[in-house]
Amino acid sequence: MSTYLCHIPTQQERPTRAALEVLTHVRTLARRDGARLAACVLHPEADRFVEALKPYGVDQVYLVKHPVLDRHLNAPVLTALAAVFRAAQPTLMALPSTESVKDVLGALAARVGAAALPDVSAFDIGASVTATRPVMAARVLADTEATTQPVLVSVRAGTYTAQPAESPTEPEVVEVPLDFDTATLRATLREVITGTTGQVDLSEADIIVAAGRGVRDEAGKQLVEELARELGAAIGASRAAIEAGLFPASLQIGQTGKVVSPTLYIAVGISGAIQHVAGMAGSKVIVAINKDPDAPIFNIATYGIVGDLYQILPLLIEEIRRIKAES
């Protein structure tokens, strides 16, 4: 029986949304192909996450527990993933395409002798593994194929929807020892500085309110923050809004920023330049607010509101508050 393995990064005591999305898709493929569905968690207390994986129908969970896995460092994560790979012997290993995964994917492929299909927006397994990969700032979709096995595939967030299985499973738990000497570390993580704007993590957010150059001052910024607060949304920004000094660079969405695919993306005063769209085109519903009816963002928007954001946002916030109060 072949094994399909998913890497499950964790955040704030639970598997990330992106990981559960990939796991859900791999479960569909595993059930169709009669393959074993395995997941792996790297964490000093990895057992804590087994419970959260049961509803997703996993047959096996590989755990790597080591204090060095407390925070992402390339060398131990690479060693741990390679150890799990050797233990599980999967034909396919799927990983969410996070910054950390991008750092190690190529090295992991080389270490375990696998092909790699990085940063894809869809994939399937037939006689070979085939995938669709957005390239050239998502202007072109490339069909790619791995002609050898095993295959590593990293998947963009928002491609699939995370859904529990029809019935939960009681997975076999396999502990994989990590033989890693921390004295060999060439890099250490000294401090993690968390952005202060917005309470919700951009890459995990289900709703994003993104500000562009149309948000031109502190009053506009406060409206964006208020709307985000009412919706429980994360805040993002275009490069122009960041260059204007209103938002920190960590919030940039686009070709040279974060790639996001939330359920709802509200673009406020953003023109829709190709470099911005590259980072958000995968959003399920896009609402654009722009005073220029010819702004390119309206070409990809699900709903468009033509008007001045300084008038529209207060109305929107008021209406959301009213609906929340009624329900």
Ligand X SMILES: Cc1cc2nc3c(=O)[nH]c(=O)nc-3n(C[C@H](O)[C@H](O)[C@H](O)COP(=O)(O)OP(=O)(O)OC[C@H]3O[C@@H](n4cnc5c(N)ncnc54)[C@H](O)[C@@H]3O)c2cc1C
Would you tell me which residues interact with ligand X (CB under 6 A)? 212-214, 238-241, 252-257, 269-271, 273, 275-276, 279, 289-292, 295, 308-310
66 belongs to an annotated ligand binding site: no
290 belongs to an annotated ligand binding site: yes
Residue among 149 and 250 whose Cβ is closer to ligand X:
250
The b/e string for 196-228 (b: 16+ C-beta within 10 A; e otherwise) is: ebbebebbbbebbbbbbbbbbeeebbebbbbbb
- The CB-of-306 to ligand X minimum distance in angstroms stands at 9
Residue 243 burial (CB count, 10 A): 13
For residue 150, cis peptide bond before it (omega within 30 degrees of 0)? yes
Largest distance between two CA atoms of the chain: 60
Answer yes or no: are the C-beta atoms of 180 and 80 closer than 8 Å. yes
- The CB-of-106 to ligand X minimum distance in angstroms stands at 23
Residue among 98 and 252 whose Cβ is closer to ligand X:
252
Which ranges of the chain would DSSP assign to H, the alpha helix? 17-33, 50-53, 74-88, 99-112, 218-231, 239-243, 274-277, 297-300, 309-326
Give the residue from 306, 293, 296 showing the smallest Cα distance to 139: 296
- The CB-of-314 to ligand X minimum distance in angstroms stands at 12
Residue among 39 and 309 whose Cβ is closer to ligand X:
309
- The CB-of-85 to ligand X minimum distance in angstroms stands at 33
125 belongs to an annotated ligand binding site: no
25 belongs to an annotated ligand binding site: no
- The CB-of-70 to ligand X minimum distance in angstroms stands at 30
- The CB-of-216 to ligand X minimum distance in angstroms stands at 7
74 belongs to an annotated ligand binding site: no
168 DSSP β-pair partners: none
238 belongs to an annotated ligand binding site: yes
Q: Supply φ then ψ for residue 305, to 5 degrees.
A: -120, 115
Residue among 11 and 255 whose Cβ is closer to ligand X:
255
235 belongs to an annotated ligand binding site: no
Q: For the chain, first and last CA: distance in Å? A: 50
Residue among 36 and 291 whose Cβ is closer to ligand X:
291
92 DSSP β-pair partners: 4, 151
Give the residue from 292, 314, 321 showing the smallest Cα distance to 304: 292
Residue among 140 and 183 whose Cβ is closer to ligand X:
140
CA–CA separation, 160 and 146 (whole Å): 21
Residue nearest to ligand X (CB): 254
255 belongs to an annotated ligand binding site: yes
Annotated binding-site residues read 213, 238-239, 252-256, 269-276, 290
Annotated binding-site residues for FAD read 213, 238-239, 252-256, 269-276, 290
